[in-house]
Structure 1
Amino acid sequence: MQKLALGIEYDGSSYCGWQRQKDVPSIQSCIEYAIKKITTEQVTIFCAGRTDSGVHALGQVVHFETCSMRSKSAWTLGINHYLPSKICVRWVKLVNKDFHARFSAISRRYFYVIYNGYIRSALLFRNTWHYKKHLDINKMCDAAHCLLGENDFTSFCAVGCQSSSKQRKLHHIRIVRTGQCIVIDIKANSFMHHMVRNIVGSLVKVGCGEKPTTWVLELLSNCDRSLAGSTAPASGLYLVEVKYPSYFSIPSSFREELWRV
């Protein structure tokens, strides 16, 4: 028996989310089906972060155990042969028994992409949040600065979140504009359900002028989800990178230069 890690990329717009569910297509069920086709084994895969319906990934990481022996190219090409066009294995690595895609991770990084123009884009509509009002990213950056470091993010987690602690450490949050696209780059040790989308929804209220830049700091202090902005749509969210301790030697399929503006 060996344990393998895979780097996965997907467009989540056609799926119910990561987690396997009855009678609806999920990312997990598609990958498990493809693995079964080349191993004849019924495997269960574990991921670094269970993305919601409509959320995308450039750098999802999964692991599974198998008795089958294949070359790296045979694993990637073989699994991809049985995957739909919107899901792809980018790399494969043999890992030791202590590795776990979720529990071994030390940080996660997401991008949120807003298409900020009065007229929607036909090509980007399903992969961004189309927001018509002009957004001032300088105001958004000022507001976002107070979120850095370790804080209680109760105001930004989903209602009914079952996480035992609402404390998270935000490593960075960067906001850049290129043309009509705004990219919010956010990295933390881990995220709660809807945390990124709720942060984005609140920052947008600042960017469009509905709230002052100091409002986000008030939200952080009040620890009350009902006071914050609405949850941004899933269509603009991308899991781009998961980091692990260096001794696991986990590769990354995320290419920073392709997103640099």
Structure 2
Amino acid sequence: MRLALGISYNGQAYEGWQSQPSGRTVQDRLEHALTQFAAQPVSTVCAGRTDAGVHGLMQVVHFDTALHREEFSWMRGTNRFLPPDIAVQWARPVPDAFHSRACATARRYAYVVLESPVRPSVDAGRVGWVFRPLDDSAMQKAASMLVGQHDFTSFRASACQAKSPVKTISRVEISRRGAYWRFEFQADAFLHHMIRNIMGCILQIGQGHQVPEWMGQVLEARDRDAAAPTFSPDGLYFLGPVYAPEWNLPSRTAAYDWLP
């Protein structure tokens, strides 16, 4: 049978999602826990890889197994072997045709950024930080230039393995609650470091170092050197993939209600 799991994690202690020789990745810890629970090797495929320090509110993975257990058993049994900062939120049997990455029609991320003269403390690693005031109108104008299908070469990491730099961003939303800003992105797919590089530019504009029109110039340049430095992974959350209703999978976890 094929199973899909929804995973949440705090990425601060890990070297990203994808398995590494060090074993200090979220995928390594998850597969180790699943293997212990199932008493047989388990290999997973994820909806979207995340960088070191990036958090996940609903990463989705799938895997095949001959072991039959109730959904709650897969959730609670696997969580027994996971560290406190990783947890299976739900488990669902899915058809063999389901593929966590290929069946996703979109992916969603959110950046939470603290605007304060004082650096984060209790929320260190969970939020990004700027100490200069941000201009909402300027950032909104700049962000609107990113919506649609574009060549995002200027926001692509040199190590990116994507076949094409052309992606379609369907939504960029910027909101504020107190001292915390939330930047939410949805696209068919993202390039390596794409959101972190976009955020570097948005914050340069928000702090008045560049005018909003600069975002369009960076986009048109198709040159990584034209953009701002990559922003810190602190405060970046993978909200999860979007699937067609026919797969009958959850679209959110309880952590959505906690995130500002």
TM-score, length-scaled by structure 1: 0.96
Equivalence for 2:117: 118
Q: Is the 8 A contact 1:90 1:253 kept in 2?
A: no
Matched with 1:57 is 56
Counterparts of 2:93 and 2:253, CA distance in 1: 19
Give the match for residue 99 of structure 1.
98
Task: Answer yes or no: is the 8 Å Cα contact 1:168–1:191 preserved in 2.
Answer: yes
Q: Deviations over 1:35-86 (max 9, x none)?
A: 1111111111010011111000101100011111111111100001110000
| CA spacing shift, 1:83–1:160, aligned 2, 3 Å | closer
Which runs of no fewer than 5 residues in structure 1 stay unpaired? Answer: none
DSSP 3-state at the match of 1:235: coil
Inter-CA distance 260–25: structure 2 relative to 1 (3 Å threshold):
closer
Q: For residue 113 of structure 1, what is the amino acid of its counterpart?
A: V
- Provide the secondary structure at the position in 1 that maps to 2:2: strand
Give the 5 Å matches for 1:29-40: 29-40=28-39
* Aligned residue-pair number: 260
CA contact (8 A) 2:23 2:29 kept: no
Is 1:82 paired with 2:81?
yes
Cα distance in 1, alignment partners of residues 253 and 46 from structure 2: 17
Number of the residue aligned with 2:168: 169
Q: 1:254 to 1:216 in 2, by over 3 A?
A: farther
After TM superposition, give the deviation of residue 103 of structure 1 in Å: 1.0
**3-state DSSP class of the match of 1:7?**
strand
Alpha-carbon deviations, 1:86-128, whole Å to 9, x = none? Answer: 0010000000111111111110000011111010221111111
C-alpha separation in 2, matches of 1:162 and 1:34: 29
Measure the CA separation in 2 of the matches of 1:49 and 1:257.
18
CA distance in 2, matches of 1:241, 1:38: 25
Following superposition, the deviation at residue 255 of structure 1 comes to 5.7
> After superposition, where does 1:185-200 map in structure 2 within 5 Å?
185-200=184-199
Alignment-derived partner of residue 25 in structure 1: 24
Please give the secondary structure, in 1, of the residue aligned with 2:172. Answer: strand
Which secondary structure does the structure 2 equivalent of 1:147 belong to? Answer: coil
1:12 and 2:3 aligned: no
In structure 2, relative to structure 1, the CA distance for the partners of 1:24 and 1:42 (3 Å cut) is closer
Q: Percent identity?
A: 37
Take 1:249 and 1:171, find their aligned partners in 2: how far apart are those partners?
Answer: 23
The letter of the residue matching 2:116 is G
Distance 1:257 1:194, change over 3 A: closer
Runs of 4+ in 1 over 4 A off after TM superposition: none
- Preserved CA contact (<8 Å) 1:7 1:252: no
Give 1:181 deviation, angstroms.
Answer: 0.8
- Specify the alignment match of 2:153 in structure 1: 154
Q: Aligned ranges for residues 132-143 of structure 1 at < 5 Å?
A: 132-143=131-142
TM-score, normalised relative to structure 2: 0.96
Matched with 2:220 is: 221
Q: Is the Cα–Cα contact under 8 Å of residues 91 and 253 in structure 1 kept in the other structure? A: no
- Taking the aligned partners of 1:237 and 1:159, their CA distance within structure 2 comes to 20
Which runs of no fewer than 5 residues in structure 2 stay unpaired?
none
What letter matches 1:237 in structure 2? L
